């Protein structure tokens, strides 16, 4: 399986990716997770990305494209991948199309996980993320809290509210999504690759709907 996951912040791209990986084996490639890990490691790339991420702005296309060109050529991608949070702009999507052509990779679909705006806001403000850069498990204080409410169930590190998940940063991220990423729906629709899924249902159902749509 080779897919791109579209959908606004909070649409559930990360959760659905993890389900697909568990059931299908395709590797999840999340640009957000990769950038947060670089920040945590204090690398040059992480330092370059940090201010953009904290403000809720997109990291410049050139930085993302360099990172992804390298990532997509790693051996684990040969069994399939889910691009979670990439591409996010038209120039990124165009560069990705060119890269796929060069690598002779065919995309199965670009999946838009559709969730109403008020639901997205609620999900993001109540989200908590494991502070361990290698884990980054996601919880929700209302619908999916950790067992003790403080530490990650998987690795025991503290869970935290991401700096870009305050109400102000979230509003800015959603506005950025509307301006920069929404045009990708038209981009992939024109290539007959767009698949729209109802994201306002439990993740297992989102997964089932996605798998059914891909088989069609």
Please say which residue, 34 or 210, places its beta carbon nearer to ligand AMP. Answer: 34
Please say which residue, 157 or 208, places its beta carbon nearer to ligand AMP. Answer: 157
Ranked by CB distance to ligand AMP, the top (closest) residue is 32
Instruction: Based on the residue annotation, tell me whether 13 is a catalytic residue of this protein.
Output: yes
Angle at which helix 44-55 crosses helix 31-41, to 10 degrees, equals 120
Catalytic one of 13, 18, 36, 180: 13
Catalytic one of 88, 123, 128, 180: 88
Smallest distance, ligand AMP to C-beta of residue 195, A: 19
Q: How many H-runs (helices) and E-runs (strands) does the chain carry? A: 9, 8
Mode of pairing for the β-strands spanning 81-84 and 2-6: parallel
Catalytic one of 123, 127, 128, 180: 127
Mode of pairing for the β-strands spanning 138-140 and 127-130: antiparallel
Instruction: Based on the residue annotation, tell me whether 127 is a catalytic residue of this protein.
Output: yes
Catalytic one of 18, 36, 123, 162: 162
Helix H or strand E encompassing 126: none
Extract the tokens encoding 41.
């490691």
- Please tell me the distance from the alpha carbon of residue 169 to that of residue 171, in angstroms, as a whole number: 6
**Which residues form the interface with ligand AMP (CB under 6 A)?**
9, 31-32, 35, 52-53, 56-59, 64, 85-86, 88, 92, 164, 173
Spell out the alpha helix ranges (H) of 114-180.
Answer: 117-125, 167-176
Smallest distance, ligand AMP to C-beta of residue 28, A: 11
Instruction: Based on the residue annotation, tell me whether 162 is a catalytic residue of this protein.
Output: yes
The catalytic residues are 13, 88, 127, 162, 173
């Amino acid at each position: 399986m080779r897919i791109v996951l579209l959908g606004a912040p909070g649409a559930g791209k990360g959760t659905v990716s993890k389900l697909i990986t568990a059931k299908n084996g395709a590797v999840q490639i999340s640009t957000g997770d990769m950038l947060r890990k670089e920040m945590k490691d204090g690398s040059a790339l992480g330092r370059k990305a940090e201010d953009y991420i904290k403000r809720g702005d997109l990291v410049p296309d050139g930085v993302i494209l360099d990172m992804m060109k390298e990532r997509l050529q790693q051996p684990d991608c040969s069994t399939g991948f889910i691009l979670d949070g990439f591409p996010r702009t038209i120039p990124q999507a165009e560069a990705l199309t060119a890269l796929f052509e060069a690598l002779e990779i065919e995309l199965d679909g670009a999946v838009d996980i559709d969730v109403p705006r008020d639901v997205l806001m609620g999900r993001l403000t109540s989200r908590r993320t494991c502070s361990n850069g290698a884990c980054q498990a996601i919880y929700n204080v209302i619908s999916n809290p950790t067992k003790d409410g403080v530490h990650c169930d998987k690795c025991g590190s503290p869970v935290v509210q991401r700096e870009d998940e305050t109400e102000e940063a979230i509003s800015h991220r959603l506005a950025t999504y509307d301006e920069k990423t929404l045009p990708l729906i038209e981009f992939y629709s024109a290539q007959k690759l767009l698949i729209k899924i109802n994201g306002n249902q439990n993740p297992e159902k989102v997964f089932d709907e996605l798998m059914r749509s891909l088989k069609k």
